[in-house]
Chain A
Amino acid sequence: MGRQTFEQQLQKLQEDVLVLGSMVEDALMEAVAALKRRDLEASRRLILADQIINERRFAIEAECLTLIATQQPLAGDLRTIAAVLEIATELERIGDYAKGIARISLMIGTGPLVKPLIDIPRMAEKARDMLHRALEAFIRRDAAAARAIPEEDNELDALYNQVYRELLTYIIADPRTIDGATHLLWVAHNLERTGDRVTNICERVIFTVTGEMTELDVKEEGLCGAS
């Protein structure tokens, strides 16, 4: 005899996390794409759409609390719900980074960027890919994958350091670029932080599977360690 209703509710909860995850992935990619093509209207839409992400996150939180109150979950079920609470928060924060990039895009306005966007879209793609696989690992209860993904955060950090150094050369060469370069640095910073949030999600995946609270922050010493 199982608890079919509860099983279905738990399943739905995890599907809701996937839906929220894909909304956040899209927001992140679209924020950088809108910046690249100087599409202020798209950036404005993204800022408004963040509200939907926030509402989804609150809905997931409410579902979790209802399940705890009504089903008294234990062991693996309890860990899953605790992980969902944490993961939904992390996703909402990544949504905020996407919104932040859209805001920076509006601040830059319609003028030309101080440099062509090459590494920043790469960072966005890398962050999106890591996030996508972290959520897959959660659904599949794949602790090995969850342990491996944060190691890739170093690639994101390396790209961030590269963007930083490149922007510095622009600033040194022409101090009038300080504003524009700083704006792009903020964008890169938001993407770098996304990698850290993905690492937190991976920690929750391992907790769900094994019950162990593991610190997976393998960040190397350097610029982004101070962020």
Chain B
Amino acid sequence: MSPDGSGKMERMDLAQQRTTPAVAERTKIRVEHLNFYYRSQPALFDVSVDILDRQITALIGPSGCGKSTFLRCLNRMNDTIPGTRVEGRILLDGRDIYAPGTDVVELRRRVGMVFQRPNPFPQSIFDNVAFGPRVLGLARGRELEDIVEESLRQAGLWEEVKDNLREDALNLALGQQQRLCIARAIAVRPEVILMDEPCSALDPIATLGIEELMRQLREHYCIVVVTHNMQQAARVSDWTGFFWLGRLVEFGSTQTLFTRPSQGLTEDYITGRAG
């Protein structure tokens, strides 16, 4: 289904999406005519969008609309699901991440991910953050300690855990665990951070803490966040995309999308009359 009922998004809309955000900012990820299939079942239809560097892009839409599928396409996490297929192109800094010969491990280092539920490893706080740099051979010794400290500082957790780095990460509160997972994602020096419902398991105070952290991280990273919480999208993001039945119905500045969306379907969804 599409806003005009024709089943296709207007080309003009796509052209507008391209030009609107890209005027002053640098495109980090360009998605061109992306189709995605779970076996023969299509899940995304002709999605095209530019995602800007050092900005927060939120993806909203009802359950099953394809927003998480889309997010997982951005670092090829869907590759791990048998029978999936991708058409179209996703360019990271101008290079197609689905091109043959792409180093998927390196891609996932550059495009990190934070999941719905905090998922720290059953190890110490230090080892959780040091895990990626160790595996990738990025650092060791003093240099590794510096990376752990810097990552925990960026994740706003350093002051709370600096005296307990050897403690089990699972003893942290949920909000702290999620910030630890963000520190773990940051530790491998990514360029993009994908967040899939990062606050859905957290209480309101911890949620606000993560949102504040996202605003700070925006200074250094391109952030794409999937959220069910429209108020959260409105609070934290610079750009918002609305997905509906596998299509990107509308993409625009968060301010415009939540005050005067151009598509009736977007209006119906965000005002609670559809979805």
Residues of A within 8 A of B (CB): 1-3, 6, 72-79, 210-211
Chain B residues engaging chain A, CB cutoff 8 angstroms = 230-231, 234, 258-261, 266-267, 270-273, 275
Judging by beta carbons under 8 Å apart, are B259 and A73 in contact? no
Indicate if the CB atoms of A76 and B271 lie closer than 8 Å: yes
| 16 CB < 8 A contacts A-B | A1-B272, A2-B272, A2-B273, A3-B273, A6-B272, A73-B271, A74-B270, A75-B258, A75-B259, A75-B260, A75-B270, A76-B267, A78-B258, A79-B260, A211-B259, A211-B260
CB-defined contacts of A2 to chain B, threshold 8 Å: 272-273
Flag if A75 contacts B273 (CB, 8 Å): no
- Rounded to whole angstroms, the CA-CA distance of A211 and B168 in the bound complex is 52
Give 9 closest A-B pairs by Cβ, nearest first. Answer: A211-B260, A3-B272, A74-B270, A75-B267, A74-B258, A77-B271, A2-B273, A75-B271, A75-B261
Residue of chain B at shortest CB distance from A210:
B260
- CB-based nearest B residue for A2: B273
Residues of chain B within 8 A of A78, CB atoms compared: 258-259
Q: A210 vs B260: C-alpha distance in the bound complex, in angstroms?
A: 8
Q: Closest CB-CB distance, A80 to chain B, in whole Å?
A: 10
Q: Considering the chains assembled together, what is the distance between the CA atoms of A77 and B231 in angstroms? A: 14
Other than A75-B259, A75-B267, give 6 A-B pairs with Cβ distance below 8 A: A1-B272, A2-B273, A74-B270, A79-B259, A79-B260, A211-B259
- Across-interface contacts of B272 in A (CB, < 8 A): 1-3, 6
Distance (Å) between the CB of B105 and the closest chain A CB? 41
CB contacts (< 8 Å) of B271 on chain A: these are: 3, 73-77
Residues of chain B contacted by A75 (CB below 8 angstroms) = 258-261, 266-267, 270-271
The chain B residue sitting closest to A76, CB to CB, is B267
A74 contacts B273, CB within 8 Å?
no
Q: Which residues of A lie under 8 Å from residue B273 when comparing CB positions? A: 2-3
User: How far is the CB of A109 from the nearest CB of chain B, in Å?
Assistant: 52
User: Which residues of chain A are near B267, meaning CB under 8 Å?
Assistant: 75-76
Residues from chain B with a CB closer than 8 A to the CB of A3 are 271-273
Identify the closest chain B residue to A73 (Cβ): B271
Neighbouring A residues of B258 by C-beta, 8 Å: 74-75, 78
B225 to chain A: closest CB distance in Å?
18
Which A residues touch B261, using CB under 8 A? 75
Measured CA separation A6–B260 after assembly (Å): 19
**Minimum distance in angstroms from A141 CB to a CB of chain B:** 13
CA distance A170 to B261 in the complex (A): 57
Q: A51 vs B76: C-alpha distance in the bound complex, in angstroms?
A: 66
Minimum C-beta distance from B62 to chain A (A): 10
CA distance A41 to B230 in the complex (A): 56
Give A75's nearest chain B residue, CB to CB: B267
List of B residues within 8 angstroms of A210 by Cβ: 260
